[in-house]
Structure 1
Amino acid sequence: MKILLVTAIFLTSLTSFGQMEQSSILVGQKAPMFKAVDQYGKTIASDEILKNEQLIVVFYRGQWCPYCNKHLSHLQDHVGDFKKAGARLVAITPETNMSVSKTIDKTKAEYSILHDVDSKIMKQYGVDFVLPEKLQKKYKEYGIDLAVSNGNDDQTLPVPATYVIGKDGIVKYVQYDPDYKNRSNAKEILKHL
């Protein structure tokens, strides 16, 4: 029942986000470099990864989002394929480490998941948006409290997005869609590695 209610919220929110314009980094552009701490307490720096591997960067909204969990689980199933193709997967979220732990429980993700403190990385990539007040109230009615989940009151979420970045730092593939149901898939990502 809760999943049905959460899905209803997402369908309602779709009309609010359907008017978003493309503002993310595009194919052929230099990817913004970032540094953040993952769930293991390790500092992950994109420029260090790119010295040896390509980088797959995935932005997701939170452990409360069934579409995010399904997508992250799908990507976990293909981590070995990405590694064979010379790439490393990193997920980025506004969630605190406590919420990231819930994501890991739900998805079995073993790749690095970074808490994007103050939405800095989301802003660099142009995927950030503030949840409208009306939807903030609806989310809370269904037990989704972004202030608790994200550890701040700014109500910022990412548009779910995926970037494949070559070792030269240039973006080779982008999947960015304000419709939260549309996500990248491993087959498409692998084509660009």
Structure 2
Amino acid sequence: MKSIPALFRYLLSTRLTLSLLTCLLSAVLIQPAMANPIATDEVSVAPLMNGETIPDIQLTDSKGKSVSLKALSTEKPTVFFFYRGGWCPFCNNQLGQLKEIEPKLIELGYQLVGISPDSPEKLAAAAGERKLDYLLLSDANMEAAKAFGLAFFTSEKTTQTYLSRMKLENPLFKTPEGDERLVLPVPAVYITDTQGLIHFQYVNPNFRVRPAPKLILTAAELARQQG
């Protein structure tokens, strides 16, 4: 294919009319981006930012019931958090930290919602084992993670390690090169109002680092003041 400057010179040499030349150049320059909704790695994700609105995605709760994120967010301000799964020790620690601050979040008028690739059955087991009262949703097909810009392909080594050691049953996804890889969400926290508008987001490619509970509470308080 000709480069843009070479193509421009070629079109001029054919003495095309200005209007036709403009149309042809527009067709070349203004092409829709064929972006892969799953990032190549955890540092290449493009998450939703403050001021954007959360997508209307249907997920499944621990009882197998379909839940709309958009409808859920209209009920009351929401703290959404994405985690890798109940097999992850850092995620389990976060689940416990959020349980501790949930009463305060409720006082502020919030609901707490966790989203992970875990199946509804695993969510139910985790909630029972840890005595969690907040809502957990299954994103097994990574639709929410992709829509929030958090989904990424793990490396071949990581995929094999997690599948063998953690006995994960997560579905595998094909990379653009045709390799089958495990896809995970970058851990994240989003605070939204009843319009689904994002007031705060914390996204960290380092899965070992999660936001401090105090940071989440402070952000929630400030978001309520803005609302």
Q: TM-score range by the shorter chain?
A: 0.7 to 0.9
Partner Cα separation in structure 1 for residue 147 and residue 185 of structure 2: 11
Q: For 1:1-193, what aligned pairs fall within 5 Å after superposition? A: 20-142=43-165, 144-146=166-168, 148=169, 150=170, 152-154=171-173, 155-193=182-220
Read off the aligned partner of 1:130 and give its amino acid letter: F
Q: Which residues of structure 1 form unaligned runs of 5+?
A: 1-15
Q: Alpha carbons of 1:112 and 1:85: their partners in 2 closer, same or farther (altered >3 Å)?
A: same
Give the share of equivalent positions with the same residue, in percent.
26
**How far apart are residue 191 of structure 1 and its match?**
1.8
Q: Aligned to 2:74, what secondary structure does the other structure show?
A: coil
TM-score normalized with structure 2 length: 0.69
CA contact (8 A) 1:17 1:178 kept: no
CA contact (8 A) 2:74 2:196 kept: no
Match in the other structure for 1:8: none
RMSD: 2.0
**How far apart are residue 186 of structure 1 and its match?**
2.7
Aligned residue pairs total: 173
**How far apart are residue 79 of structure 1 and its match?**
1.4
Read off the aligned partner of 1:88 and give its amino acid letter: Q
RCO comparison, higher one (Cα < 8 Å, 6+): 1
**How far apart are residue 111 of structure 1 and its match?**
1.1
CA contact (8 A) 2:64 2:120 kept: no
**How far apart are residue 17 of structure 1 and its match?**
5.5
Q: Alpha carbons of 1:102 and 1:52: their partners in 2 closer, same or farther (altered >3 Å)?
A: closer
Q: Which one has the largest radius of gyration?
A: 2
Partner Cα separation in structure 1 for residue 148 and residue 201 of structure 2: 11
Deviation track 1:124-163 (CA, whole Å, cap 9, x = no partner) reads 0011112211112222442x133x2x3x233111111110
